[in-house]
Structure 1
């Protein structure tokens, strides 16, 4: 079964735009990493100032290989001075195993 990594990052309101800019400028190397299945950046709408970075992997080993790669280091270097981290030292990583999942049911009837 797949493994999900959720990085919960607290970002103060005045730094949220910079934080999102940093993600828009990401290199995207994770998408071609063996074992990578999914990525989502979730913006809080109410009740919290924590963003969630959701990634899904085919195995814990696939995630660990990504985490120890040079691409991971480049993706997490803060973007240099122009895109410095908006929320240093405010992240927590949660790990879950996917037990069940579902997607939309395919439409069995032809549309005319």
Structure 2
């Protein structure tokens, strides 16, 4: 059953463009991971400052395998860090991970 992981990232109001730029710089980094089904970066369209990173996975085991893989660490480093430079200042002021599964409306089962 598909599971959904949402990373809710709160950034200062003037830092959203930088967050989007950083995600664009590593676009596709998770695409070939076993069990990965999709990715979306959701930008708020109101006064909120929380962006949502939504990923879909075949199952929890696939997500955990990626989370514990070298690819995860590599994908979360900046281009500067990958070439031996210093890490950029963090953009986020807070983040939390939410976990969901798609409800089976046909049967009402969870």
TM over 0.5: yes
Displacement of 1:18 in angstroms is 1.2
Secondary structure at 1:52 match in 2: strand
Unaligned runs of 5+ in 1: 102-112
> Which residue number corresponds to residue 109 of structure 1?
none
> Which residue number corresponds to residue 101 of structure 2?
97
> Which residue number corresponds to residue 110 of structure 1?
none
Unaligned runs of 5+ in 2: 106-110
Length-normalised TM-score, structure 1: 0.80
Length-normalised TM-score, structure 2: 0.81
Moved over 2 A (4+): 77-85
Between structure 1 and structure 2, the one with the greater Rg is 1
> Which residue number corresponds to residue 39 of structure 1?
39
Going from structure 1 to structure 2, the CA distance change for 1:84 and 1:71 (only over 3 Å counts) comes to farther
The question of whether the paired residues in 2 share the 8 Å contact of 1:27 and 1:75 is answered with no
Going from structure 1 to structure 2, the CA distance change for 1:74 and 1:27 (only over 3 Å counts) comes to farther
The number of residue pairs the alignment matches comes to 100
